[in-house]
Amino acid sequence: MKRFVQLGALILVLCLAVPALSMELDEAKSRLDAAKQQGLVGETPTGYLEVVRAEGNAQGIVDAINKARRDEYARIAEKYDIPVTQVETVAGQKALNKTPPGQLILVDGEWVKK
């Protein structure tokens, strides 16, 4: 019976945690979009974000999103048994291609508006 109660408590915690994580991710994406539009953050060909202008919480946003990306790239690399660097390169190219006009991307070491 004790085991059943522990399992029930674990399920309850997970049910409450998943929406909270989803809300945190949505909030991070919203902040990222705003930072990109303000020219604080840009996409790089490495598949990660970099701070262009250190204002506000730009570094915190970059760190949070890059951690999530790093985790996802590692998951994909493991699933397909390929190097993480290969996933990063493909993801970086996709991110550069998907960046809307007016936002910053890193090209040959220089920040340029797409």
pLDDT band at 24 (very low <50, low <70, confident <90, very high): low
**96 within 8 A of 43, measured Cβ to Cβ:** yes
Q: Please, how many CA atoms are within 13 Å of residue 83, restricted to the half-sphere of its CB?
A: 3
Tokens of 86: 């290969």
The pair of structure tokens assigned to 113 is 């508006």
pLDDT over 50 at 57, yes or no: yes
Give the pLDDT of residue 43.
98
Q: What is the pLDDT at residue 1?
A: 54
Asked if residue 14 has pLDDT above 80, the reply is no
Q: Parallel, antiparallel, or unpaired: how do β-strands 49-51 and 41-43 relate? A: antiparallel
- Under the banding of pLDDT at 50, 70 and 90, the label for residue 19 is very low
Domain ranges of the chain: 2-113
Whether the Cβ atoms of residue 96 and residue 104 lie closer than 8 Å to each other: no
